[in-house]
Amino acid sequence: MNHDEREERRQVEEWSLNETPEGFDVSYITEYLLEGFTRCEEPCISRIQSGEGACYCVRQSFPNPETYELYKALKQESAKIVALTILSKVIPQH
């Protein structure tokens, strides 16, 4: 393992230990849900070394893994709501 890999692992470990700040403002998560979350361009060495959920762009956008997981769960739920809304408009109701 070279220095860059060790540093990447150290940063991931540090990020994973971060606590959600008191009075945490979720408005940016709402913005990500509405506008999308942009990852860095391919190829991403950080994503290769740390995985999809802990790469540099995720760590820069979310204060800790729990917040990123919250974003993913909300994104999944909002997609279901959108699908149900669309279906409710195209399926005739009696």
- Domain residue spans in the chain? 3-90
- Mean pLDDT per block of 10 residues along the chain (94 residues) reads 84 91 81 85 87 92 93 88 82 74
pLDDT of 3 reads: 63
In this prediction, residue 78 carries a pLDDT of 83
Q: How many CB atoms lie within 10 A of CB 6?
A: 10
- Per-residue confidence (pLDDT) for residue 94, from 0 to 100: 66
**How far, CA to CA in Å, does 51 sit from each of 7, 18, 86?**
15, 18, 34
Q: How long a stretch of residues is the chain?
A: 94
